């Protein structure tokens, strides 16, 4: 039987966890599905990552309401991907924040990404009829900005390219906790299809320099304690490098995408094949690594059609 494309065969509901990662700070996680973060301020709440649909966003809201009745005033989106942003309308927040670069990517490829991810993740897009359209920020920033929820300071920063060109991280200094989006994962494959392999390691170094006490990663369990934080950062680094190096060697000798796929599988399967969404991510990761190694700096836009053409080429 032919292998299902991306996550088309994954229709099982995931167990939700809501973990306190600092005082008034929570990670909403779901066994490798996209995570969200919650930051409770003096008078209101900030959400980090909006989920794929209002239906899923409401699961986050249920968890928020289990710990506070304060209104949700801000939603911060670490990047532009549909599974992260299209649920934003459910929160009713007046302020939606992205980096300048992330907003530009919504303009350039937001609809194509939505169409592509809808095909890849049918379970995550159940209830998609309630999505009002592309999510647009009310506020953008270039390198950094600060939001105060009463006395609670929240620093939102672009520390470098990694998962996308416009990634943001959110640091809460009073608890020394960071929300990293998909720059850092924990026992979940990194999706690198729109990534920048050459920059990712430096961006991880910039995160590591904060020496945080906890991280809410993009996927996987909350990371509480410096040992768990540092282990996840280094594991993410290993995943990214183990994907890029074999693909780059194939590209350097003029080999094919299919040869790169075989080489990456040989390097990564022994270490990562049991990670959440590993099989989903691998074809996109190989395609992007192969492109970057051949000098294509800006990731090519994924479309529903390109997805299937790439998948067919790798199955031949």
pLDDT single digits (tens) 98-108 = 999 999 999 99
Residues paired with 155 in a beta bridge? 146, 171
Q: What share of the chain is helix, strand, coil (3-state, %, to 5)?
A: 40, 20, 40
pLDDT single digits (tens) 97-152 = 999 999 999 999 999 999 999 988 888 999 999 999 999 999 999 999 999 999 99
Q: Which helix (H) or strand (E) holds 111?
A: helix 100-120
The answer to whether the CB of 228 falls within 8 A of the CB of 21 is no
d(CA 225, CA 236): 17
d(CA 220, CA 229): 12
Query: Quick one: CA dihedral 185, 168, 108, 245, positive or negative?
Result: negative
pLDDT single digits (tens) 54-103 = 999 999 999 999 999 999 999 999 999 999 999 999 999 999 999 999 99
Burial degree of 209 (CB within 10 A; 0-12, 13-18, 19+): exposed
């Amino acid at each position: 039987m032919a292998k299902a494309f991306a996550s088309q065969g994954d229709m099982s509901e995931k167990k939700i966890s809501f973990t306190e990662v600092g005082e008034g700070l929570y990670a909403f996680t779901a066994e490798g599905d996209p995570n969200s973060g919650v930051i409770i301020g003096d008078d209101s709440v900030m959400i980090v990552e909006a989920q794929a649909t209002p239906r899923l966003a409401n699961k986050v809201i249920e968890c928020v309401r289990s710990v506070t009745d304060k209104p949700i005033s801000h939603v911060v989106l670490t990047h532009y991907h549909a599974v992260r942003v299209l649920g934003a309308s459910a929160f009713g927040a007046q302020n939606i924040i992205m980096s300048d670069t992330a907003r530009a990517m919504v303009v350039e490829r937001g609809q194509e990404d939505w169409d592509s991810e809808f095909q890849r993740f049918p379970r995550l897009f159940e209830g998609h009829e309630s999505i009002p359209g592309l999510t647009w920020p009310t506020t953008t920033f270039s390198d950094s900005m600060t939001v105060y929820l009463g006395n609670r300071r929240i620093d939102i920063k672009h520390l470098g390219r990694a998962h996308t060109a416009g990634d943001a991280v959110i640091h809460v200094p009073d608890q020394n906790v960071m929300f990293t989006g998909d720059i850092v994962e924990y026992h979940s494959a990194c999706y690198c299809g729109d990534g920048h392999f050459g920059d990712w390691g430096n961006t991880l170094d910039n995160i590591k320099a904060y020496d945080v006490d906890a991280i809410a990663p993009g996927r996987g369990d909350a990371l509480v304690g410096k040992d768990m934080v540092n282990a996840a950062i280094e594991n993410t680094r290993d995943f990214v490098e183990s994907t890029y190096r074999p693909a780059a060697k194939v590209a350097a000798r003029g080999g094919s995408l299919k040869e790169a796929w075989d080489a990456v599988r040989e390097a990564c399967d022994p270490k990562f094949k049991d990670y959440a969404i590993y099989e989903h991510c691998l074809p996109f990761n190989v395609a992007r690594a192969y492109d970057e190694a051949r000098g294509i700096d800006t990731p090519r836009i994924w479309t529903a059609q390109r997805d299937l053409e790439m998948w067919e080429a790798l199955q031949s």
